[in-house]
C-alpha cells in the first residue's frame, strides 16, 4: 500500500497551520508544519515531503526567496498561499518556481483540489529526470538521514552514526530497493569493496552490525528491527517511508 502524501504547510500564523493540518488530514493527506525559513529547512532535512504549501509573508526570508531557494535544490511541488492577489504577484510567484498560487481568503476544499492536482501533475514518470532515491544525494527514512556525498548517517536524535565501507554499501543497497527481498549472496556482492575486511565477508554478521546501529536507543527491546530476517530466504529493509531529501549544507 502506498504511503499517504506528506504535505508541509509553511505559514507564520499558527492558527492557520493547525486548521489546515486538521482539514487536510480529512482528505488522506499527512501534514507537517513550519513557521519560518529556519524551521522549514529543519523539517525538510529530516522528513520526507511530497508538496509544500508556502505563505509569501514570512518573518525573515520571505516565501518568494524560499521558493527560489527550494527550486535551486529540489523539484518538490510548491503551492503559494498568500494575501497578495494582484496579477503581478501571481506571475512573480509562478516565475519564482511555484507550481500553483492561491490567494487568501480561500476555500479549504479548493486547496485540497489544487494539492491533488499538482501531485498528479508532478508525479514522477518513467523518463522523468528528477532525483530518485537511488540517485539522490540525501535519503530520508523513518527520521534517519543519509548524506551520500559525505557518507554521513544521522539518527533521528541528531547523532552521527559511523559506518564502515561495507555497512555503507549495504545500507545503500537496502535504501535503493526498500521492502525488496535480498538473498545473502546478493547482499554480500553489493557489500564487497576494496576496504572490505575478513569480518565483513560474513553477511549475517554485517547485517547484525548495521541492524544494531539502526536500532532506536530508547526503543523497546521487542521492537521489530528495520532489517527483517526472512527465514530461509534472506533479508528485507522495512522502513515505513524512504524518500529523496534536500541537502541544505
Q: How far apart are CA 215 and CA 91, in angstroms?
A: 48
Give residue-wise pLDDT tens across range 184-243: 888 888 776 544 444 445 888 889 999 999 987 665 554 678 999 999 899 999 988 888
H or E stretch covering 222 = none
Q: How far apart are CA 8 and CA 30, in angstroms?
A: 9
Share of residues in the chain with pLDDT > 70 (%) = 86
Domain chopping of the chain, boundaries: 6-121, 138-244
Cross-strand partners of 144 = 141
Give residue-wise pLDDT tens across range 6-51: 999 999 999 999 999 999 999 999 999 999 999 998 888 778 889 9
Give, in words, the CATH class of 138-244. mainly alpha
Fold type of domain 6-121: Rossmann fold (3.40.50)
How wide is the angle at C-alpha 182 spanned by C-alphas 236 and 231, nearest 5°?
65
Task: Identify the burial level of 117 via C-beta atoms within 10 angstroms of its C-beta, where 0-12 means exposed, 13-18 middle and 19 or more buried.
Answer: middle
188, 169, 165, 198: which is closest to 235 by C-alpha? 188
Laid out side by side, the sheet with 51-55 consists of 30-34, 6-10, 51-55, 78-82, 100-103
Amino acid at each position: 500500500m502506498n504511503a499517504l502524501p506528506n504535505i508541509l504547510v509553511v505559514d507564520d500564523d499558527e492558527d492557520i497551520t493547525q486548521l489546515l493540518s486538521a482539514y487536510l488530514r480529512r482528505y488522506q493527506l499527512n501534514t507537517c508544519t513550519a513557521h519560518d525559513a529556519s524551521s522549514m529547512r529543519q523539517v525538510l532535512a529530516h522528513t520526507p515531503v511530497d508538496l509544500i504549501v508556502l505563505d509569501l509573508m514570512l518573518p525573515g526570508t520571505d516565501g518568494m526567496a524560499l521558493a527560489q531557494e527550494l527550486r535551486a535544490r529540489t523539484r518538490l511541488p510548491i503551492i503559494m498561499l498568500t494575501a497578495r492577489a494582484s496579477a503581478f504577484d501571481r506571475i512573480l510567484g509562478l516565475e519564482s518556481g511555484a507550481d500553483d498560487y492561491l490567494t487568501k481568503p480561500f476555500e479549504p476544499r479548493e486547496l485540497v483540489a489544487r494539492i491533488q492536482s499538482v501531485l498528479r501533475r508532478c508525479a514522477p514518470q518513467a523518463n522523468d529526470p528528477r532525483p530518485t532515491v537511488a540517485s539522490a544525494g540525501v535519503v530520508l527514512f523513518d527520521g534517519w538521514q543519509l548524506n551520500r556525498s559525505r557518507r554521513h548517517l544521522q539518527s533521528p536524535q541528531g547523532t552521527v552514526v559511523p559506518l564502515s565501507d561495507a555497512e555503507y554499501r549495504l545500507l545503500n543497497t537496502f535504501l535503493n530497493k526498500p521492502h525488496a527481498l535480498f538473498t545473502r549472496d546478493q547482499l554480500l556482492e553489493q557489500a564487497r569493496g576494496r576496504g572490505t575486511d575478513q569480518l565483513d565477508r560474513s553477511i549475517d554478521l554485517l547485517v547484525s552490525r548495521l541492524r544494531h546501529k539502526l536500532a532506536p536507543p530508547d526503543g523497546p527491546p521487542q521492537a521489530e528491527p528495520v532489517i527483517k530476517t526472512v527465514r530461509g530466504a534472506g533479508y528485507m529493509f522495512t522502513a515505513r517511508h524512504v524518500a529523496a531529501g534536500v541537502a541544505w549544507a
